Structure 1
């Protein structure tokens, strides 16, 4: 079997590099034919006592915080883990992709520098949201392109459709456009112009506008928006799920409701965003997966599963980058 590796950026996570290292341990256990490249402090990595011969180290002790300017950080030429990880991915054919829970701006800037042959292409980040129908919706963009035009939203629709068609085997993914009303006349200038383009775009199964309170209802397979709105949808959905589960736990304890534990278990299995893999950057030569900053170790393993799935069906990623 051809050698294959996954690069994990250990720095930048809200949970600390130790949690990312435990995620790396889970990846090695789950995928015995896959090696790892770990970008982070050498002493910390060696202290974790991961299986020998299964990983190599990109020694780095710097990260890009939310207070840093990602572009300035890039040009400082310091050993920043996320930039070293992306550069290694662009250099090595054996690398399946990169997983990081660090600064989105830094990840985006590094991906453009090291993994984008065509600089006219604007990558986007897709996130998979669970729906109340038991399926999933691809939300795109979730933060890579804060300002964009209607033509870019159409491109996002194509990439999201290809992603859902290829990995989830949906023949004609339903594409919705995030708006403040279901009617075609609702929305700002960007949404109205994008609606007109999507309605006549070949290869897009456009089902119209989707309101914010319907994002998890399963009305579409791909939900398109610019990155500012998409990031808010993602974080609001995560916050709503956490708050709802917390309230059920509190009520169950206060009123001794036996069924509360079972309900919480079900909701955690469906809407635990901290464990739901990662957002995937579409438009780069290799997959770049962005875990949430608050992700836990199992989310790292789930992200690795996405990379392995893409590698096993190479045409999938070739169709969306």
Structure 2
């Protein structure tokens, strides 16, 4: 299995991307990696690496880079020599390539996947789906978290089908419990979009729909999948991230400003804090999968270090081997044609 990696995407490219790719190669002897980017910069970064199987690593030279300042659609169409565009071209032209990883511009990755890779038949809108940690430790797929700001109810049904297949492949959940992000658990709560989506989800075969999910319950562990339009999903994601960072900062401030008793208590709780930090560490869980396109596309955090890149590459390989795209296509095929044709 070959994974294509955008070596120039992200805040820490190319060094951390290259280090992560090499570590992935050393962890999985059946993996091949293609690094796409400035060949001289990649080769310099490889000099920092430990031993690895050079026969399983290839480089595609790409002198240009798409940045966060570029307009995604324009950049994908005009920057033909960019690492991102050439990586997508390699993904589609190499039959051995099963997946793609980038820590670059989220907008450009999503536009590139949509235009270069293409949608699975029946999918109205591909969606971005990270796996978030939960209190019960099982993880939850949040879909969508930013790819589609404006949605119709049928889009949310498609998100539920795709995310359910993803939860099964990624989390090992056989019959994923699906919730609809809303401002109340009652069936009549929400706006016109969520009320209509609730009705469709409740009657769609193949979806284990439990009902509405309030934002405070996303990380409870009571749901395996939470579906939302990209606008509210992104707000929920960023709110959770911000709350976690704020709480950790408040705890640190309290420890540092406290007396001897506080510091002794913190010392005794250090193993607990370490366990919580590990559970919440995005670097250990790979990236967000762009569901609904014809090949596996994983978007890593823009600030990813080598550890996160390694996890994303192994995640992409695992998803490709699980045939996640075929499973999504199979799930979409059960829907009525009039609904799947709607945009």
Q: How many angstroms does 1:160 deviate by? A: 0.9
Q: Does 1:278 align with 2:293?
A: no
**Structure 2 residue aligned with 1:6:** 3
Task: Give the aligned partner of residue 319 of structure 1.
Answer: 327
Hey, what does 1:136 align to over in structure 2? Answer: 139
Whether 1:163 and 2:182 are equivalent positions in the alignment is no
SS of the equivalent of 1:209 reads strand
Match of 2:117 among 115, 122, 145: 115
TM-superposition CA deviations, 1:178-210 (whole Å, max 9, x none): 111111222121111111111221111111111
Match of 1:22 in 2: 19
Cα RMSD after superposing both structures: 1.9
Q: Distance in 2 between matches of 1:99 and 1:115?
A: 13
Alignment match of 1:76 (pick from 63, 75, 78): 78
**1:238 corresponding residue in structure 2:** 241
Q: Which runs of 5+ in 2 are unaligned?
A: 330-343
Aligned pair partner of 2:198 in 183, 195, 215: 195
Larger C-alpha radius of gyration, 1 or 2? 2
When the two structures are superposed, what TM-score results if normalisation uses the length of structure 2?
A: 0.87
Alpha-carbon separation, structure 2, partners of 1:154 and 1:26: 38
> Could you list the per-position Cα deviations for residues 198-224 of structure 1 after superposition, in whole angstroms to 9, with x for gaps in the alignment?
122111111111111111111211000
- Counterpart-to-counterpart distance in 1, 2:191 and 2:283: 32
Q: TM-score, normalised by structure 1?
A: 0.92
Judge conservation of contact 1:248–1:260 (CA < 8 Å) in 2: no
Structure 1 residues 1-321: aligned runs within 5 Å:
4-48=1-45, 49=47, 51=52, 52-116=54-118, 121=123, 122-254=125-257, 255-256=262-263, 257-314=266-323, 316-321=324-329
Show CA shifts across 1:239-260 (max 9, x none).
2223323333343344312124
Task: Give the Cα–Cα distance (whole angstroms) in 2 for the partners of residues 111 and 175 of structure 1.
Answer: 26
In 2, Cα distance between the equivalents of 1:61 and 1:264? 43
Shift in Å, 1:118: 5.4
Equivalent pairs, count: 317
Compare 11-20 and 194-203 and name the one that shifted more.
11-20
Give unmatched runs, 5+ long, in structure 1: none
